[in-house]
């Protein structure tokens, strides 16, 4: 089973809100997922990622999509400034 770390859309029309999830690559975008890793709110530019869960899933071979990889880099860049 190929596991991908990707976005699942939540929220209402014109107000998107995304969950960052680990899911089987064959499942639909908003379908079943294995674990919730974090959230992304594009309206407020807010990114919340559990570093523990992210490192676990990357350790077992899950690959992030290009969008999620960009969000991870953005989160890691902002994390030292807030700490």
List, in sequence order, every residue forming a beta bridge with 64; answer none if it has no partner.
5
Across 27-44, average pLDDT:
92
pLDDT value at residue 1: 74
Q: What is the pTM of this model?
A: 0.88
Q: Which domains does the chain have, with CATH numbers?
A: 3-82 (3.30.1320.10)
Please give the DSSP secondary-structure letter assigned to residue 5.
E
Instruction: Say if residue 30's pLDDT is above 90.
Output: no
pLDDT value at residue 37: 96
pLDDT value at residue 83: 57
pLDDT digit string, tens, across residues 46-80: 999 999 999 999 999 999 999 999 999 999 998 77
Whole-number Å distance between alpha carbons of 32 and 75: 25
Please report the DSSP string for 46-83 in residue order.
EEEE-HHHHHHHHHTT-EE-HHHHHHHHHHHHHHHHH-
Q: What spatial distance separates the first Cα and last Cα of the chain, rounded to whole Å? A: 36
């Amino acid at each position: 089973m190929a596991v991908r770390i990707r976005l699942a859309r939540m929220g209402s029309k014109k107000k998107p809100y995304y969950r960052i999830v680990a899911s089987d690559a064959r499942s639909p975008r908003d379908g079943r997922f294995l674990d919730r890793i974090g959230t992304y709110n594009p309206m407020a530019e807010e990114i919340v990622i559990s570093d523990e869960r992210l490192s676990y899933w990357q350790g077992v071979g899950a690959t992030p999509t290009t969008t999620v990889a960009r969000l991870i880099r953005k989160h890691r860049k902002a994390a030292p400034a807030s700490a």
